[in-house]
Chains A and B, each alone.
Chain A
Amino acid sequence: MAGDLELEKPIVELRRKISELKEFTNNTEVDLSSEIEKLENRLERLEKEIYDNLKPWDRVQIARHPERPTSMDYISRLFTDFFECHGDRYYGDDEAIVAGIAKFLGLPVTVIGHQRGKDTKENIRRNFGMPHPEGYRKALRLMKQAEKFKRPIICFIDTKGAYPGKAAEERGQSEAIARNLFEMAGIKVPIVCIVIGEGGSGGALALGVGDHIHMLENSTYSVISPEGAAAILWKDASLAKKAAETMKITAPDLKQLGVIDEIIPEPKGGAHRDVDLQAIEISEALKTSLKTLASLTEEELIDQRYQKYKQIGEYSFLNEYIGVN
Chain B
Amino acid sequence: MLKDIFTKPKKKKYATIPSETARQDVPEGIMTKCPNCKKIMYTKELLKNVKVCFHCGYHHPMNSKERIESLVDPGSFRELNKTMISENPLDFPGYKEKMEADRQKTKINEAVVTGSAQINGLDVVLAIMDSTFRMGSMGSVVGEKITQAIEKADELGVPFIIFTASGGARMQEGVLSLMQMAKTSVALKRFSENGGLIISIMTHPTTGGVSASFASLGDYNLAEPGALIGFAGRRIIEQTIREELPEDFQTSEFLLKHGQLDAVISRHDLKARLASILEIHQPGGNFNWQEI
Contact = CB atoms under 8 A, between A and B. Distances in A.
Chain A bound to chain B = yes
Interface of A: 81, 83-93, 101-103, 105, 107-108, 134, 138, 145, 148-152, 287, 290-291, 293-295
A88 B195 CA distance: 21
Given A85-B220, A149-B197, A101 B280 contact: yes
B279 interface: yes
B256 interface: yes
Q: Which of B277, B281, B285 has the most CB of A within 10 A?
A: B285
A151 B286 contact: yes
Given A83-B276, A103-B280, A93 B258 contact: yes
Given A86-B262, A148-B219, A149-B197, A290 B289 contact: yes
A85 B262 contact: yes
Nearest to B286: A150
User: In the complex, which range does the number of interface residues on chain B fall in?
Assistant: 20 to 34
Contacts of B287: 150, 294
A85 B220 CA distance: 8
A90 B257 CA distance: 11
B277 A134 contact: no
A102 B276 CA distance: 9
B285 A86 contact: no
Contacts of A101: 277, 280
Contacts of A105: 292
B285 A93 contact: no
B24 interface: no
A138 B279 CA distance: 23
A93 B192 CA distance: 24
A138 B221 CA distance: 13
A89 B292 contact: no
B263 A86 contact: yes
Given A105-B292, A107-B285, A294-B289, A87 B277 contact: no
Contacts of B257: 92-93
B53 interface: no
Given A81-B279, A92-B258, A290-B292, A108 B263 contact: no
B155 to A, nearest CB: 19
A86 B256 contact: yes
Nearest to B288: A107
Given A81-B276, A86-B256, 17 more contacts: A83-B263, A84-B263, A86-B262, A87-B261, A91-B259, A102-B280, A103-B280, A107-B286, A107-B289, A108-B285, A134-B259, A149-B195, A150-B287, A290-B292, A291-B292, A294-B289, A294-B290
B137 to A, nearest CB: 25
A290 B261 CA distance: 30
B39 interface: no
B265 to A, nearest CB: 10
A87 B292 contact: no
A291 B287 CA distance: 9
A230 to B, nearest CB: 37
A89 B259 contact: yes
A90 B255 CA distance: 10
B36 interface: no
A270 B276 CA distance: 35
5 contacts: A87-B258, A89-B216, A92-B257, A93-B258, A148-B192
B286 A86 contact: no
A93 B264 CA distance: 13
B273 interface: yes
Contact of A295 (B261, B263, B290): B290
B88 interface: no
Given A103-B280, A294-B290, A90 B195 contact: no
Contact of B286 (A91, A134, A149): A149
A92 B195 CA distance: 27
Contact of A83 (B256, B273, B286): B273
Contacts of B292: 105, 107, 287, 290-291
Interface in B235-292: 256-263, 273, 276-277, 279-281, 285-290, 292
A180 to B, nearest CB: 16
Smallest CB-CB A-B distances: 8 pairs: A294-B289, A87-B259, A85-B262, A92-B259, A108-B280, A88-B259, A150-B286, A294-B290
B219 A87 contact: no
B281 A108 contact: yes
Contacts of A150: 195, 286-287
Contact of A152 (B261, B263, B289): B289
B259 A81 contact: no
Contacts of B219: 145, 148-149
Contacts of B192: 148
Given A108-B286, A294-B289, A138 B259 contact: yes
B285 A85 contact: no
Given A83-B277, A149-B197, A93 B286 contact: no
